[in-house]
Amino acid sequence: MTESAKRRPNIVMILTDDHASQAIGAYGSPYNATPRIDEIGQEGWRFENCFVTNALCSPSRASILTGTYSHINGVTTLVTPIDAAQPTFITQLREAGYRTAMVGKWHMGEGEGHNPQGFDYWDVLVGHDGQGEYWDPLFLSEDGERTVEGYATDIITDLAMSWVDGLEGDDPWCVLIYHKAPHRPWEPKPEHAALFTDKIPVPETFDDDYSTRSSSMRRALMRLTENLNMDDLKQEPPASLTYDELSLWKYQRYMEDYLACVASVDDNVGRVTDWLRARGDFDDTMLMYVSDQGFFLGEHGWFDKRFMYEESLRMPLLLSYPNGLAGGQTFDGIVTNVDFAQTLLDAAGVEAHPRMQGHSFWADIRGEATQPRPAGMYYRYWEHDDTFHKAPAHYGYRSERYKLIYYYNDGLGLPGTGPYVYPAEWELFDLQTDPNELRNVYDEPDYLAIRESLKRDMWAEQERVGDKPHSSQPVLVGN
């Protein structure tokens, strides 16, 4: 360990919106190469089992910032704005002398009480309910609103780097670079738009017939063929296609733009890495690449996220800090977005806020862990039956091998949810024999014992994090 390792690290968190690990080279993408994102993992760690606790933009951002679950931080849906006065890892870092900044897509509400707090500098996308624009985006900062000409992914990177370049003195800094890309409606830069016009491979579960699965999942309006709109597709499909041909045409159109938006992200991640190196800060900086959740890229015939299925549950996470961490490593233990706050605070040598609920993985990646990682993780999706996606409210528990899901199908009157309540349903998947989650084994006799044991684990974790079972939940015997 060098002398400089005693220096507190700078922190750069690059967060993208809806970037599935299936579309990252380091995670074995069959679709695209992402050399600059992959490089972070080569210089440090690639996490194989990083999961989101509520697979939706605003809730994931709130969990990352506060180190708490949705029922604690209050951001359960897309339209439950954050109380920005909550303690966050940013407020803790700032108290400890870090300079702090937030640039890009905030998406946790706008206005008094909801705009970013605890940052020395913040400059965030506004408009379209906080989604922002790809081109000539509108920003809000303490100086008010302004339009910045250009492409959002480039601009967000530029603003973040300029802020750091303007700092004086030796105190460490932390900058959050939160991109809009590759979120819907997938508007690429012209220079990337034609990169993926060759026929894109179709995932194995594209034609999923949903047999053995719940009616809850079948209700979702996330079908590529039926539910993408003209803003998404940007072209009328050719006339006289059969249904199957139309499906494939839409899939191709969707993926071309999605992957082209990712190409710009990869370029801009490279710009940040090169800039850190040029400043001489790369080795002293904790550089993270992560997406706010995963995404369906045609698996189960879907786009979007929300479900506890692997493609949306799984977050890509790559992290480097050469002076503090070994390089070329992979981490298989279970980590979640709730764990990030405490991990970053640990890396900075700053106390976590007592309200934070995660399990820091700093000791794990330093090779200093004194206890094993949690055996599973608790998930809850609250935005039941929203107008556009009709995804069911559910919670569940994922262990290394199994996944238990309880669709309680009730919006509980929360903003953003639909009024209809449907009968509760269960799903259970054995990820070892069925990694694509095509066979619900909840009612199979061979799985009875494991199913009841998973329920107990789920309950225990639900209780530990202070969440409450839905009223429809059957009471466990002998718990």
Judged by the rule CB under 5 A, the positions of this chain that interact with Ca ion are 17-18, 57, 292
- CB closer to Ca ion, 17 vs 461: 17
- Residue nearest to Ca ion according to CB distances in the complex: 57
Rounded CA gap, 171 and 348, in Å?
12
- CB closer to Ca ion, 18 vs 187: 18
- CB closer to Ca ion, 18 vs 43: 18
Cβ neighbour number for residue 100 with a 10 Å cutoff: 23
Minimum distance from residue 322 beta carbon to Ca ion (Å): 29
Minimum distance from residue 212 beta carbon to Ca ion (Å): 29
* Nearest CA-CA partner of 406 in 336, 446, 457: 457
DSSP 151: B
* Nearest CA-CA partner of 41 in 64, 61, 25: 25
CA distances (Å), 273 to each of 17, 144, 279, 284, 314, in order?
Answer: 20, 30, 10, 12, 24
- CB closer to Ca ion, 76 vs 91: 76
Minimum distance from residue 57 beta carbon to Ca ion (Å): 4
- CB closer to Ca ion, 52 vs 140: 52
Cβ burial 12-43 (10 Å sphere, 16+ → b, else e): bbbbbbbbbbbbbbbbebebbebebbbbbbeb
Minimum distance from residue 52 beta carbon to Ca ion (Å): 9
In sequence order, the 6+-apart residues with CB closer than 8 A to the CB of 184 are 18, 232, 303
- Quick one: 187 exposed, middle or buried, by C-beta within 10 A (0-12, 13-18, 19+)? buried
Minimum distance from residue 446 beta carbon to Ca ion (Å): 37
Name the phi and psi angles at 240, rounded to 5.
Answer: 65, 25
- CB closer to Ca ion, 284 vs 310: 310
Minimum distance from residue 61 beta carbon to Ca ion (Å): 8
Minimum distance from residue 421 beta carbon to Ca ion (Å): 26
Cβ neighbour number for residue 58 with a 10 Å cutoff: 26
- CB closer to Ca ion, 61 vs 253: 61
Minimum distance from residue 404 beta carbon to Ca ion (Å): 24
Rounded CA gap, 457 and 377, in Å?
9
Instruction: Collapse the DSSP code of 253 into the 3-class scheme (helix H, G, I; strand E, B; otherwise coil) and give the result.
Output: helix
In sequence order, the 6+-apart residues with CB closer than 8 A to the CB of 104 are 15, 123, 124, 125, 152, 156, 159, 160, 176, 177, 178, 179, 180
253 and 235 Cβ atoms separated by less than 8 Å? yes
- CB closer to Ca ion, 292 vs 310: 292
- CB closer to Ca ion, 57 vs 101: 57
Q: Is it true that the peptide bond before 203 is cis, omega within 30 degrees of 0? A: no
394 and 306 Cβ atoms separated by less than 8 Å? no
Minimum distance from residue 305 beta carbon to Ca ion (Å): 7
In sequence order, the 6+-apart residues with CB closer than 8 A to the CB of 368 are none
In sequence order, the 6+-apart residues with CB closer than 8 A to the CB of 440 are 212, 213, 214, 427, 428, 429
Minimum distance from residue 382 beta carbon to Ca ion (Å): 15
Minimum distance from residue 219 beta carbon to Ca ion (Å): 21
- CB closer to Ca ion, 17 vs 385: 17
- CB closer to Ca ion, 208 vs 292: 292
Tell how strand 317-320 and strand 45-47 pair up: antiparallel
Max intra-chain CA distance, the chain: 69
